[in-house]
Amino acid sequence: MRDRLAALGFSEGAMPARVAENLIVECGIPPRTAWRLASELSLDVAAHQYNAVTGDPRAGMRGTRIWEYEQWPERGVRPTVAALRVLARVYGTSWKSLLGLRDLEQLPAKDLAEYHADTETPATAPEPGPACPARVEAVPHAEIGGAALDDAMLLTTTNVDDLQLDDLWSDLGFLGNAYTRTAPDAVLGQLAVVDERVATLLKGRQRPKQTQDLLLIGAKCSAMMAWIAGDLGRYPFSRRLNSVAWLYSQYADDYLARRWVRTSQARVAFWSGNGVESAKLAADGLNYQVGDRITDAPLILAEARGWSSVQAEQQVLDAIARWTSIEDPDLDAGGEDRFFNITKDRRHYMAGTSLLSVGQAPAALREFTTAREAYEKLSLESRWEAMEPMIRIDTGRAHLRLDDLEGAAAQVEPLLATDVAKQPDMVHAMLKVLAAELAGPRWRTAATARHLAEALLEARASAGL
């Protein structure tokens, strides 16, 4: 078509508009895609030029986001008016040319009003259908670029500043650290406030980098909420929150965010009874390489724990071997990702539970011993309250596998003097498992086992379970 237009005397500058018109009318291609193709730009090159127009090469626009803009309104993401104005400058057209009738029918009332209030005339805006030649009027030189400054200034208008973003990140860090020593419901409620603030800000206008920061905050906040809701046994709610978190991470197109979410998803899946799904989610999380920003240990151990639920011994042993090869005994779970980057006591506890589930009781007992030692070395504010009963319960189970009922009783009896009602859902679940094992055929005739099982079930009943 360019050859035909050149033969007819069209200049290079006039060709894109005629090519876009032909693609829209004769090929049925939506306007935003048509104009990009007419400008001979790939998605990635268009994104690069978009960032250059905003004046920030790191602004965050990606080819995948432009593709999502092109899929709307059937699917994908609705482009903001500000984004359309930048794309129009990249393609050398007007922003109104990038909207077809179906787009206009789905625009929010505010954007449609701005469309009608704008006096700029689209260079071409035909809908797919029978060929209808369009006449492109020459633009007087005096008017060329007349609205460019206004358009550029519009891009600087934002409802977010660095102080707000820093405040949101700070809140997440504080609440993540507070979870070890604060009631889960209280932390969940405060995270919900952060989540609401993020959602409200995203409804406004930001620069691309600010939008990405908000998406990252939303991903982390929702994943943390899902994790905590799971600890409270609210698994349907947890799964919904993790779905929201994953959506945020996809739009942010950030590997670390995807790791946060996969870690939370794997945890929730395991404790809600779907071990194989947990293992697969954890394995997928490892595909997102983020250097040394977060250790692989939590995801590898989650993978092992997931496979242990179906006694997949070889997969469990393979995962434990991978973890052992990277385990750093001096690694602390500090920094911005402390919430997901679990402490040493929890790492060894997870390894022990996986080994115990596939019949490796002696190895499991060694891991539980290391977990207890690491737990006792932590400062009080760094200890997760649930670890003490969890280590005791599973250490007791390991002793039972080794035919050591007295050793199991020594671990379990101190729990009976505590209030288990305040413990997370997984503690209650493991108390039930231990009670069932004590009441099983192997220990049915042992008075000590029978009394322990009855006491454990009583403790659960007193907690309303």
pLDDT tens, residue by residue, 117-140? 887 654 444 344 433 333 334 445
Whole-structure pTM value: 0.65
Amino acid residing at 20: A
- For 171, phi then psi, to 5°, come to -60, -40
pLDDT at 130: 39
Q: In this structure, are residues 256 and 244 in contact, taking their beta carbons and an 8 Å threshold?
A: no
**Residue 337 scores a pLDDT above 90:** no
| Average pLDDT, integer, range 62-75 | 85
Q: In this structure, are residues 357 and 387 in contact, taking their beta carbons and an 8 Å threshold?
A: no
What is 162-462's CATH number? Answer: 1.25.40.10
Q: What is the dihedral of CA 410, 404, 394, 443, to 10 degrees?
A: -100
pLDDT tens, residue by residue, 303-316? 999 999 999 999 99
228 band by pLDDT with thresholds 50, 70 and 90:
very high
CA angle 419, 415, 412 (to 5 degrees): 160
340 band by pLDDT with thresholds 50, 70 and 90:
confident
Average pLDDT for the chain = 84
Structure tokens at 92: 């050398």
pLDDT at 137: 43
pLDDT tens, residue by residue, 155-199? 556 788 888 888 999 899 889 888 877 888 899 999 999 999 999
Query: Which letter does DSSP use for residue 129 in this model?
Result: S
Query: Which letter does DSSP use for residue 78 in this model?
Result: P
pLDDT at 63: 84
pLDDT at 128: 41
**Residue 51 scores a pLDDT above 60:** yes
275 band by pLDDT with thresholds 50, 70 and 90:
very high
Question: Alpha-carbon distance 289 to 188, whole Å?
Answer: 29
Question: Alpha-carbon distance 292 to 321, whole Å?
Answer: 20
Share of the chain above pLDDT 70, in %: 89
Structure tokens at 28: 């049925």
By CB neighbour count within 10 A (0-12 exposed, 13-18 middle, 19+ buried), where does 50 fall? Answer: buried
The domains of the chain are located at 2-155, 162-462
